[in-house]
Structure 1
């Protein structure tokens, strides 16, 4: 088991990609904090994953845009398990509008969840990682960390920003054994993507089928969605790669849509 007894925090992990990562970590023997907005959802996911073992999980409520909530959540993990070995900053949302119609409140909300959330969770975990002599910080980027698409000005801006944060954390954390990486998935068929399909169809004046085949999968080599398991495998790679050899790097998981 690659992560036996490692203590991991995965934000936005009551469902979707975050849940798949948490499940992969528990299956590899880790102790995982399921950090999500709703405590009941976090606890339900934690109970299901613990029942499968061999690792264990527990649920905490965490609003990643609230510094006090983040600090309290990380403190609860350290109180329970004594350390933090892996942080996966995964919490995120999607809102689409043409740039000239993008409500400023939605712009600020998008950047707050993706960027403030990554910064605040990193800020809270780094002191513990320094004390224990190392750790892994993994940010959930996107192909949109490297590319752009219409209607996604806030999302693309936020996902590009994660690359910069990861590189700074890699530079600062390297001497302390703290690694930092960004996972950049293509389109993953989650509720977040399902919500985008009719929104983009309406905004672009095309059919939902065209959104899927042309806008989402047209650039892939096999017209296949990236799966949550694809992303979880990369999250396991970064969590278990315990040298600085890969630190500061991003890895695109997109069925060839974007190639570095």
Structure 2
């Protein structure tokens, strides 16, 4: 060998089957499009698949699922395996922000809903796909956490708690699965320009942007690019890690 670098793979995920939850819009849609561009056959699981603009992107499978309901998740895994053969990559993206309130005023029903979608939903999806991944001794799980899960963010305590839980669950699964061929990681973006901003107040949004040293929100394509790299063959010896996408905000 001459020592020259090998050419970059134009389709690093060729032959892989990827699932993106909450993939009909926002970060999920950008991730689904990026994974497809990298060669994967992509299944989008979403609570409201009608939100997907089919003119912009047509996944290999579009399925309705409620990630808070284990039976619904198990059914969509069976549907995906029947249509596409297996699940090699799972991107846990489905999430909601919830209302903006101090904890002593936070509605209990909103607390339970935010944790059900953002944390229990991750557990359900991982639990459902892991038997197949472990049997094949290959798999990649990437969960979308948040810098709120590392730092805590005032007035969205349920969201911060759920996203911190995603980081803890990622670490636990990674240690359980080390040596199995299944790698488990997460990403922690700063606030991004998505429809979730609609649930937040202008003052909250302005304060969040002010904490980012680069002075802007994360782009959804930037988040998708990081997820695609973690899902690909070049990320082969990192598991249990949370990758920051913070614009310089992260301190650890």
In the superposition, the TM-score normalised over structure 1's length comes to: 0.88
Q: Deviations over 1:198-222 (max 9, x none)?
A: 4xx3xxxxxxxxx444x11222222
Tell me the residue number matched to 1:80. Answer: 83
Q: Paired residues, what number?
A: 241
Residue of structure 2 equivalent to 1:113: 117
Residue in structure 1 matching 2:239, options 229, 236, 247:
247
Quick check: 1:64 aligned with 2:72?
no
Corresponding position: 1:24 with 2:37: no
Say which is worse superposed, 215-224 or 62-71, in terms of deviation: 215-224
Cα displacement (A) at 1:57:
2.2
Query: For the residues of structure 2 that align with 1:31 and 1:13, how far apart are their CA atoms?
Result: 14
Task: Determine if contact 1:84/1:125 at 8 Å carries over to the other structure.
Answer: yes
C-alpha displacement of 1:242: 6.0
1:128 to 132, 135, 145: 132
Could you tell me which runs of 5 or more consecutive residues in structure 2 were left unpaired when the two chains were aligned.
1-10
Please tell me whether residue 91 in structure 1 is matched to residue 94 in structure 2: yes
Aligned residue among 10, 13, 22 for 2:20: 10
Give, in whole Å, the separation in 1 of the partners of 2:24 and 2:235: 29
TM-score where L is the length of structure 2: 0.91
Gap runs ≥5 in structure 1: 51-55, 202-210
In the alignment, the residues of structure 2 paired with residue 242 and residue 35 of structure 1 have an alpha-carbon distance, to the nearest angstrom, of 26
State yes or no: 1:218 paired with 2:210: yes
Q: Per-residue displacement from partner, 1:170-199 (whole Å, max 9, x unpaired)?
A: 11112211100111000101110233134x
CA contact (8 A) 2:34 2:224 kept: yes
Cα RMSD (Å) = 1.5
Contact 2:95/2:118 (<8 A) preserved: yes
Residue 199 of structure 2 aligns to a residue in which SS? Answer: helix
Q: What CA distance in whole angstroms lies between the structure 1 residues aligned with 2:233 and 2:14?
A: 14
Q: Which runs of 4+ in 1 moved over 6 A?
A: none
